[in-house]
Amino acid sequence: MLSGFLIALREMASWNVVFGMALGMLIGYCLGSIPGLTSSIGIALVVPFTFTMSPVVSIVLLVTLYMATEYAGAIPAILVNTPGVPAAAVTALDGYPMRLRGEAGTALTMSILSAAFGSITSTLLLIVSATYMASFALAFGPSEYFGLAVLGLSLVSSLSGASMLKGFLSLFFGLAVGVIGIDPLDGVARYVFTDGLLSGVTFLPALIGLFALSGVFMMVEKSGAKVAPLRHLPSVSGQFGLMRPYLRVLMRSSLMGYLVSVIPGHGAVISAVVSYGVQKRLSDKPESFGKGNPEGLIAAETAANASVPGALAPMLSLGIPGSASTAILIGALMLHGVQPGPLLFAKNPEIPYSIFIALLVTMPFMVAVGLGGVRFWVKVTQVPRGVIAALVCAMCLLGSYASQNDIFAIWLTVFFGIVGYLMKKIDIEPAPVVLALVLGNLTESNFRRALVGSGGDLTVFLTHPISLVCLVLACGVLLLPLIRKTR
Amino acid sequence: MTTDSHEEPDADHVAPVIEISERKLDVVAGVTFFALAAWLWHGAADIDTTSSGGVGPAFFPRAIALLMAGGSLLLVLQGFVPKLFGIRPDKTIWVQRPGSVLAAMVIVIVYASMLGRLTYYPATALFLPCLLWAAGVRRPIIIAACTIGFLTFTKILFEIVLGTPLP
């Protein structure tokens, strides 16, 4: 582990890395402050511009952006009762009533200090658990990888939104899109009806379309809605002593946020909801929750931010995305020729350890920028939706072009943007499509490799214990929501 | 048209709105997914099946086609006979400002087709004001500032910082 940190420190000793962190943090704050722009949209938008950077600078920038976006969503949630990111809706439950009581500065200070505590504690847990999980997964062969990929795909149940059936259709759509192009084993062309598809449906333009461009169309729908005005800007105190009475809440919420989000598909929202619920149950004044109880604000904000390192754990150690944002991070790493998974710690130790260092080092600066720049972030929340929609749309198309240097990439983005919008309108989540695009190839190639090795004997997946355990777990993950529903 | 309607959380009460029954949309989505599954199945017949032992390159697409066809039929059935699945009353899907959304989609498609012919700067100088207008921005000064600002930003980013040629 120590050698990994040393390698990463050597790679990170450059102004480019510092610049990457600062840029990621600023972009993250801006995006998170704007309702409708989530961390997955932000990462998808920025990835094309990181091609010319080294993998370390690129991943440090993207992870910092991810972390900053998740925090900054709390600013408009507290000040104008409009969550910048979905998880901040839980923060708003007590944050906004605090602002109405004239305690906006205290609420903002508490939220950022809670975010910092949750993130740092969770990062320490990530460092210990991810390296252990990866060393365990080192002995995997094709059948184990197939089992792991199926387990990853089975997590569609937690990414499906309201309807599991629609989630599965979204997953199958993603798998269907993934088979277009050259077959991974025999090199045979499949469904290539235009030259642009010879190398398959490129991940990034599809992703930008599904998440960012579809989000633009959603914003155009709401472009007439008035932005809640905020005339009196609060000043924040930055008093660390404010948090002393809430140390137990901080510890409990950090742990809960991390553990919940390690389960792939259980991101910031579920972490915040679970932590808020538990804190309410344990509180002496449960009736004051939702009316401006600082415990509620701290529980939600700590857990939501602890979920960022938590979601990175399965991504780094097993190559399975823990959330939509980490699915995009996997895609970003693959574009740099880096494959997340058990071999990552052996082949590219600078990547996971740079992420660990970035998560720890950036946090104090994030606190400073968050506390010092409140007035600016508040102004960002007041930009009209129509302006944001148009500029984000232009960035989507330009970013898509930049990722391939080909206008065909723009067509892909437009196609997936319209498909993504239609999917969202009929309650079909686009996240399972990303899951399928990330894991489809891994599933197919390892399934076929394992069968080649066993001479076509399907029991190979049941005779290998790890593959068997993964397949049984996958069945459990799929069946559990159905059993719960029938009850 | 619908039996139970829900208020859209961020509803803008003066904006034009289209209301559609979720069940009807489910049926349309189910038919679309079924057509996609049929295309996938049919296309698998054209894949060269070279021998590599185990299963060939057409196996996976066929398996996906079967699963997708099954799922889409269930969705269609769910739309027609919701009671069979124990589904609650129908929901209304709201599309606010449908004209603006459609206009934004058309503008984006026209931009993609014009980009090769007009090149980046003239195409974007036309595209961005149109899109801002479609997104409800009416003040000429904001439209001009956004367009000029974005073009300047991309010139600096792509030509000076990244060194990436634009179309």
Instruction: Specify which of A3-7, A21-25, A149-153, A239-243 reaches the highest per-range mean pLDDT.
Output: A21-25
Tokens describing residue A466: 């790890």
Q: Are strands A181-182 and B92-96 parallel, antiparallel or unpaired?
A: unpaired
> Helical H runs in A292-384?
294-318, 324-335, 344-347, 350-372, 374-381
In chain A, which residues have their Cβ closer than 8 Å to the Cβ of B47? 183, 188-190
pLDDT tens per residue, range A40-50: 888 888 888 88
Residue A447 amino acid letter:
F
pLDDT at A40: 80
Confidence of residue B52 (pLDDT cuts 50, 70, 90): low
Task: Tell me the pLDDT of chain B averaged across its residues.
Answer: 84
- Rounded to an integer, what distance in angstroms lies between the CA atom of residue A133 and that of residue A314? 8
Q: Does A457 touch chain B (CB under 8 A)?
A: no
- Rounded to an integer, what distance in angstroms lies between the CA atom of residue A191 and that of residue B39? 10
- Rounded to an integer, what distance in angstroms lies between the CA atom of residue B88 and that of residue A330? 38
In chain A, which residues have their Cβ closer than 8 Å to the Cβ of B108? 213, 393, 397, 414, 417
Nearest CA in chain B to A455: B54
- Rounded to an integer, what distance in angstroms lies between the CA atom of residue A260 and that of residue A86? 16
Query: What percentage of chain A carries pLDDT values higher than 70?
Result: 93
Ranking A52-56, A125-129, A476-480, B147-151 by mean pLDDT, the lowest is: A476-480
Q: Tally the C-alpha atoms within 13 A of residue B76's C-alpha that lie toward its C-beta.
A: 13
Q: Which conformational region is residue B146 in: left (phi greater than 0), alpha (psi within -120 to 50 degrees), or beta?
A: alpha
Instruction: Specify which of A37-41, A186-190, B12-16 reaches the highest per-range mean pLDDT.
Output: A186-190
First to last CA, chain A: 46
Confidence of residue B9 (pLDDT cuts 50, 70, 90): very low
pLDDT at A183: 86
- Is the CB of B36 less than 8 angstroms away from the CB of A176? yes
pLDDT at B4: 38
Ranking A101-115, B97-111, B133-147 by mean pLDDT, the lowest is: A101-115
pLDDT at B56: 83
**What DSSP letter does each residue of A461-480 carry, written as one string?**
HHHSHHHHHHHHHHHHHHHH
In chain A, which residues have their Cβ closer than 8 Å to the Cβ of B29? 166, 169, 426, 428
pTM: 0.80
Instruction: Tell me which of A436 and A236 has the higher pLDDT.
Output: A436
- Rounded to an integer, what distance in angstroms lies between the CA atom of residue A151 and that of residue A133? 15
Rounded to a whole number, what is the largest CA-CA distance in chain B?
66
Q: Does A227 touch chain B (CB under 8 A)?
A: no
Report how far Cα A180 is from the mean position of its chain's Cα atoms: 26
Residue A238 in this model has a pLDDT that exceeds 60: no
> Helical H runs in A426-464?
431-454, 460-463
Burial of B70 (C-beta count, 10 Å sphere; 0-12/13-18/19+): middle
Angle separating helix axes A407-425 and B98-118, nearest 10 degrees? 170
Nearest CA in chain B to A411: B112
- Rounded to an integer, what distance in angstroms lies between the CA atom of residue A303 and that of residue A325? 17
Nearest CA in chain B to A187: B57
Tokens describing residue A105: 């500065």
Among B59, B64, B100, beta carbon nearest to A176: B64
Tokens describing residue A90: 């839980």
Give long-range contacts, CB 8 A cutoff, 24+ apart: B85-91. B89/B3, B89/B4, B90/B2, B90/B3, B90/B4, B90/B21, B90/B22, B90/B23, B91/B2, B91/B4, B91/B5, B91/B6, B91/B21, B91/B22
Residue that is written with structure tokens 């529903």 in the block? A485
Residue that is written with structure tokens 């924040």 in the block? A236
pLDDT at B8: 47
Residue A352 in this model has a pLDDT that exceeds 70: yes
pLDDT tens per residue, range A308-333: 888 888 888 888 776 778 888 888 88
Residue A371 in this model has a pLDDT that exceeds 80: no
3-state class of A225 per DSSP? coil
Residue that is written with structure tokens 């997964």 in the block? A137
Residue that is written with structure tokens 């989630």 in the block? A167
pLDDT tens per residue, range A167-200: 899 999 999 999 998 887 888 888 888 877 888 8
- Rounded to an integer, what distance in angstroms lies between the CA atom of residue A463 and that of residue A143? 9
Residue that is written with structure tokens 């901080």 in the block? A250
pLDDT at B7: 42
Query: Taking residues A86-99, what's their average pLDDT?
Result: 85
Ranking A139-143, A234-238, B36-40, B64-68 by mean pLDDT, the lowest is: A234-238
Ranking A151-165, B1-15, B60-74 by mean pLDDT, the lowest is: B1-15
- Is the CB of A220 less than 8 angstroms away from the CB of B135? yes
The whole-angstrom distance between B36's CA and the closest CA on chain A is 8
- Rounded to an integer, what distance in angstroms lies between the CA atom of residue A63 and that of residue A353? 12
Alpha-carbon torsion, ordered A74, A77, A82, A86, to 10 deg: 40
- Is the CB of A421 less than 8 angstroms away from the CB of B14? no
Report how far Cα A428 is from the mean position of its chain's Cα atoms: 18
The whole-angstrom distance between B80's CA and the closest CA on chain A is 15
Q: Give the burial string for A151-171 (b: 16+ CB within 10 Å, else e).
A: bbbbbbbbbbbebbbbbbbbb
- Is the CB of B47 less than 8 angstroms away from the CB of A52? no
- Rounded to an integer, what distance in angstroms lies between the CA atom of residue A331 and that of residue A341? 13
Residue that is written with structure tokens 């000793």 in the block? A13
Burial of B9 (C-beta count, 10 Å sphere; 0-12/13-18/19+): exposed
How many residue contacts between A and B have a Cβ separation below 8 Å? 186
Query: Taking residues A426-450, what's their average pLDDT?
Result: 85
Query: Taking residues B48-55, what's their average pLDDT?
Result: 63
pLDDT at B6: 41
In chain A, which residues have their Cβ closer than 8 Å to the Cβ of B22? 426-427
Residues making up chain B, counted from first to last: 167
pLDDT at A297: 92
In chain A, which residues have their Cβ closer than 8 Å to the Cβ of B167? 401, 407
Tokens describing residue A382: 């007041």
Among A173, A176, A386, beta carbon nearest to B137: A386
In chain A, which residues have their Cβ closer than 8 Å to the Cβ of B165? 405
Residue that is written with structure tokens 């450059």 in the block? A14
Phi, then psi, of A381 in degrees rounded to 5: -65, -20
- Rounded to an integer, what distance in angstroms lies between the CA atom of residue A284 and that of residue A362? 35
Tokens describing residue A283: 């509180």
What stretches of B40-143 adopt beta strand conformation (E)? 92-96
Distinct helix (H) and strand (E) counts, chain B: 5, 2
pLDDT at A221: 87
pLDDT at A240: 65
pLDDT at B71: 94
pLDDT tens per residue, range A253-306: 999 898 888 876 667 877 888 888 888 888 888 888 888 889 999 999 999 999
pLDDT at A242: 77
Residue A421 amino acid letter:
Y
Residue that is written with structure tokens 């801002």 in the block? B132
- Dihedral sign computed on CA atoms, order A410, A413, A415, A418: negative
- Three-state helix/strand/coil letters over B84-103: HHCCCCCCEEEEECHHHHHH
- Rounded to an integer, what distance in angstroms lies between the CA atom of residue A150 and that of residue B101? 37
Instruction: Tell me which of B41 and A211 has the higher pLDDT.
Output: B41
Asked if A323 and A309 count as a contact pair (C-beta separation under 8 A), the reply is no
In chain A, which residues have their Cβ closer than 8 Å to the Cβ of B150? 391, 394
- Is the CB of A385 less than 8 angstroms away from the CB of B135? yes
The whole-angstrom distance between B162's CA and the closest CA on chain A is 7
- Dihedral sign computed on CA atoms, order A107, A108, A113, A114: positive
Asked if A445 and A186 count as a contact pair (C-beta separation under 8 A), the reply is no
Closest of A41, A74, A37 to residue A303, by C-alpha = A74
3-state class of A193 per DSSP? coil
Query: Taking residues A374-402, what's their average pLDDT?
Result: 82
Residue B2 in this model has a pLDDT that exceeds 70: no
pLDDT at B3: 36
pLDDT tens per residue, range A142-168: 888 888 888 878 877 666 666 888 889
The whole-angstrom distance between B48's CA and the closest CA on chain A is 7
Confidence of residue B5 (pLDDT cuts 50, 70, 90): very low
- Rounded to an integer, what distance in angstroms lies between the CA atom of residue A74 and that of residue A84? 7
Task: Tell me the pLDDT of chain A averaged across its residues.
Answer: 83
- Is the CB of A190 less than 8 angstroms away from the CB of B57? yes
Instruction: Specify which of A247-256, A346-355, B89-98 reaches the highest per-range mean pLDDT.
Output: A247-256
Rg (CA), chain A: 22
Report how far Cα A81 is from the mean position of its chain's Cα atoms: 23
The ranges assigned to domains in chain B are 17-96, 98-162
- Element spanning A143, H or E: helix A142-154
- Is the CB of B105 less than 8 angstroms away from the CB of A217? yes
Q: ipTM of this model?
A: 0.89
- Rounded to an integer, what distance in angstroms lies between the CA atom of residue A95 and that of residue A304? 14
Those of residues 182-211 in A touching chain B at CB distance below 8 A are 183, 185-186, 188-191
- Rounded to an integer, what distance in angstroms lies between the CA atom of residue B78 and that of residue A431? 23
Ranking A357-371, A400-414, B16-30, B86-100 by mean pLDDT, the lowest is: B86-100
The whole-angstrom distance between B2's CA and the closest CA on chain A is 15
